[in-house]
Amino acid sequence: MIEICALASGSNGNCYYIGNQTDAVLIDAGISAKQILLRMEQRQLNPAKIRALFITHEHTDHFRGARVLSKRLGIPVFLTQGTYLSVSAEERPAYVLLFSPGETIIAGEFSIHSFPKNHDAAEPCSFRIEYRQTSVGVFTDIGEACENVQTNLSHCRAVFIESNYDEQMLWNGPYPYPLKQRVASSFGHLSNDQSLELVRQHAGDNLEYVFLSHLSKENNTPAKAFQNFTELRARFNVHLTSREEATEVFVLR
C-alpha cells in the first residue's frame, strides 16, 4: 500500500507526500513548514513517519520550508551539491545529505531514484519513489521531456506531471517577452500539450494515476489543463493538484 498526496503544487509552492504504513518521504518543501504540517494534519497524514525530505532544485517554490521543517521533524534534507551551493548560508538546513543525480537513495522502506533534468537551476533533478516494485514519479519543472524523464515515466504507476502553461495564454499574456521565452524554453516548463504528449507516448502499461501539477496561475487554468487530457481520461485516472490546498490522499494497493 502506498499513500500519495500533493500538499501543494504550483508556482507559489510545491510539496508532495509519498508514504506507506510505516515510512514516508516528502519531495520539495516550497511552502512554509507550518503550512506543510497543517495540510498533513488536515489529510490525517502522520509527520512522525517522514524519514527524509528530497529537494529537486533551489528555487524558492521548492525550497522555502526546508530548513525549518528539517529542524522541526529531525529529518535529513537530500540535496545535490549544486543546489546546496546555490542557496544562502541562512537558508541551508543544518541536517543535509548530498547526492549526485543518478543515485538511488534508501529512506525507510522506499528507494528514491534520482535523475538529472532540464531546468534553469544549478543541478536540478527529479525523483521516482519505489516501494515493492510500485513507483510514483514527481516530474515537474522540466523544460523538455528528455530520455531520463521518458524512461522513468515508463516505470510509474502514478505520476505528478508538470502541466504548467497553455501556449496561447503564455504568448498572449502579461509576462515580459524574455520571461515568456524562458518559460517555453528547453530549460523552462512543460506546456499542457507537451505534458499530454509525454504521457501519451511514454506511459508504461502499469500507469494508473496522472496528477496534473505545477500549473501556472497566470498562464493556465485548471479547466484548460484538465480538458487537454480528455483523450487520455479513458485510460488513466487524471486529477488536478492545487496551489491552495492538499489533494485528497490516494491509495495504491
Amino acid (1-letter code) at residue 244: E
Neighbours of 30 (CB within 10 A): 26
* Domain enclosing residue 184, as ranges: 2-252
The confidence score (pLDDT) of residue 175 equals 96
Q: What is the pTM of this model?
A: 0.97
Res 163: pLDDT: 98
The secondary structure of residue 106, as a DSSP letter, is E
Q: Encode pLDDT of 46-100 as tens digits.
A: 999 999 999 999 999 999 999 999 999 999 999 999 999 999 999 999 999 999 9
Residue 5: predicted pLDDT: 98
Domains contained in the chain, number: 1
Q: Using CA atoms, how far apart are residues 9 and 140, in angstroms rounded to an integer? A: 9
The CATH number given to whatever domain includes residue 231 is 3.60.15.10
Chain centroid, CA 87 distance in Å: 19
Q: What is the pLDDT along the chain (253 residues), one digit of tens a residue?
A: 999 999 999 999 999 999 999 999 999 999 999 999 999 999 999 999 999 999 999 999 999 999 999 999 999 999 999 999 999 999 999 999 999 999 999 999 999 999 999 999 999 999 999 999 999 999 999 999 999 999 999 999 999 999 999 999 999 999 999 999 999 999 999 999 999 999 999 999 999 999 999 999 999 999 999 999 999 999 999 999 999 999 999 999 9
SS3 192: helix
- d(C-alpha 21, C-alpha 194), whole Å: 35
Over the stretch 29-58, which tens digit does the pLDDT of each residue have? 999 999 999 999 999 999 999 999 999 999
Angle between helices 33-42 and 66-73 in degrees, nearest 10? 60
Nearest to 76 by CA among 105, 54, 106, 45: 54
Q: Look up residue 149 and give its three cell numbers.
A: 524523464
Q: How many CA atoms lie within 13 A of 30 on its CB side?
A: 26
